[in-house]
Chain A
Amino acid sequence: NAGVIQTPRHKVTGKGQEATLWCEPISGHSAVFWYRQTIVQGLEFLTYFRNQAPIDDSGMPKERFSAQMPNQSHSTLKIQSTQPQDSAVYLCASSLDGLGGQYFGPGTRLTVL
């Protein structure tokens, strides 16, 4: 069991560029979560998929952020026109059914210059 895989581990973008972050959940897990972690705000929920369907995106900034889960083996978080305030560690987690323990990936550290 390789655990949750996130790529890339580090990404540096210039202001205004697009960033796409990838997550591969644990095989057999039907739920995928995205979180953002900063020193100021801590760990914040962004969005949740269950069986590839978007269930809750209440934590997603309304502009520039989007997430998809095209198949059961990966999810993407896309940030358009990145801004310095988007700099954070983006964590992906998966769980068996959405209600049990969440298993986290190592995160992607996004730095927007």
Chain B
Amino acid sequence: QQKVQQSPESLTVSEGAMASLNCTFSDGTSNNFRWYRQHSAKGLEVLVSIFSDGEKEEGRFTAHLNRANLHVSLHIREPQPSDSAVYLCAVSMTGNYKYVFGAGTRLKVIA
């Protein structure tokens, strides 16, 4: 059964500094990865999807995938206080509708 773990549990960064979040997964056949952001009391907002090794950039958000290392990361360039939220990693396989989510990383960006 797929296990998805995120680290760190919480992260505080200064406005403008790079924020890096990590996600490891257990099923090496996974090839569908999404990063979501969840502001307090709101739904999940998809930030970036990645399906092959390498990197994928969507605005200030860049995902890096290394399937051999069972690792996908999210880097947030020039974070703003409005980026303070919980970030969730979701993993699945192409053709499989069922995503397994990590527990999340709570990011706080201070001015």
Contacts and interface: CB of A to CB of B under 8 A. Distances in A.
Given A4-B43, A104-B43, A104-B44, A42 B98 contact: no
A4 B77 CA distance: 29
Interface residues of A, number: 24
Interface residues of B, number: 20
Nearest to A95: B97
A79 interface: no
Contact of B97 (A3, A43, A48, A103): A48
A105 to B, nearest CB: 5
Given A42-B104, A43-B88, A48-B97, A101 B34 contact: yes
A25 B35 CA distance: 21
Interface string B25-67: 0000000001010000111111001000000000000000000
> Chain B binding site: helix, strand, loop or mixed by DSSP?
loop
A88 interface: no
A48 B98 CA distance: 9
A103 B99 contact: no
A48 B46 CA distance: 19
B102 A42 contact: yes
Interface string A1-16: 0011010000000000
A91 B34 contact: no
Contacts of A43: 88, 101
Given A99-B97, A101-B34, A101-B49, A42 B103 contact: yes
Contacts of B88: 43
Contacts of B49: 101
Interface of A: 3-4, 6, 31, 33, 42-43, 45, 48, 55-56, 91, 93, 95, 98-99, 101-107, 109
Given A33-B97, A45-B98, 18 more contacts: A3-B43, A6-B43, A31-B97, A42-B101, A43-B88, A43-B101, A45-B99, A48-B98, A55-B97, A56-B97, A93-B44, A98-B97, A99-B94, A101-B46, A102-B46, A103-B46, A105-B43, A106-B43
